[in-house]
Amino acid sequence: MRDRIYEAMYLGCGDILVTMTENPWQEIAGEQISSEDAWRVLDDWKAKRKEIGMLFCGRSGTAVIAAMCTVRAARNGLLQMKGDGAGASLNLKLAKFSYGPMQVWPNWPAGPAAEVLALQAYLATGDWLVLAEGYLPRELAPLALPM
C-alpha cells in the first residue's frame, strides 16, 4: 500500500479534523465492480429482505465482527445493517468493491471449504468488509471444476 492521502481542516482550539480523500487499497480479490453496481446489489438485497452474512475485519486486526444481517438502508455512501439484537452503520463512500465467488471455511479449522457469492468492500481506512449472500451450489462452484 502506498501512503494515504488526507485532507485536514483546522477547527480552532487546537483541534484538527482529518478526513481521507483517496482509497489506498492496491490489491483487490475477485472481479472489481463499480460503486454504482455495488449499490445496486445492496438495493436488491434490501428490496428482497435477503439475510446475508457480514464479516468486518479492522485494518489492525484488532476487530473482527461476524453476523447475519439484512440491509436496512443503503444510500449516499452509508450502509446500515440490522441483525438479531445488533446493527451496524458503515461508511462506504470511498470503498472499492468486488463481487463474485469467494472461498470460505464455515467449520474452521476443519473442512470442507465452501463457495459463497460475496460483495467485498475495501474501505479507505484499510478495513475490509465481506457481505455473502449465500452458498454456491457445489456443481457450480469453481472448486468443483476439473483441473
Q: Note whether 84 and 68 are within 8 A (CB).
A: yes
pTM: 0.71
Q: Which CATH class is domain 29-136?
A: alpha beta
pLDDT in tens, the chain (147 residues): 334 444 444 344 444 444 445 545 556 667 889 999 999 999 999 999 999 989 888 877 777 888 889 999 999 899 999 988 888 899 998 899 999 888 887 777 877 888 888 999 988 888 889 999 876 555 544 444 444
Domain boundaries, the chain: 29-136
Q: How many CB atoms lie within 10 A of CB 42?
A: 22
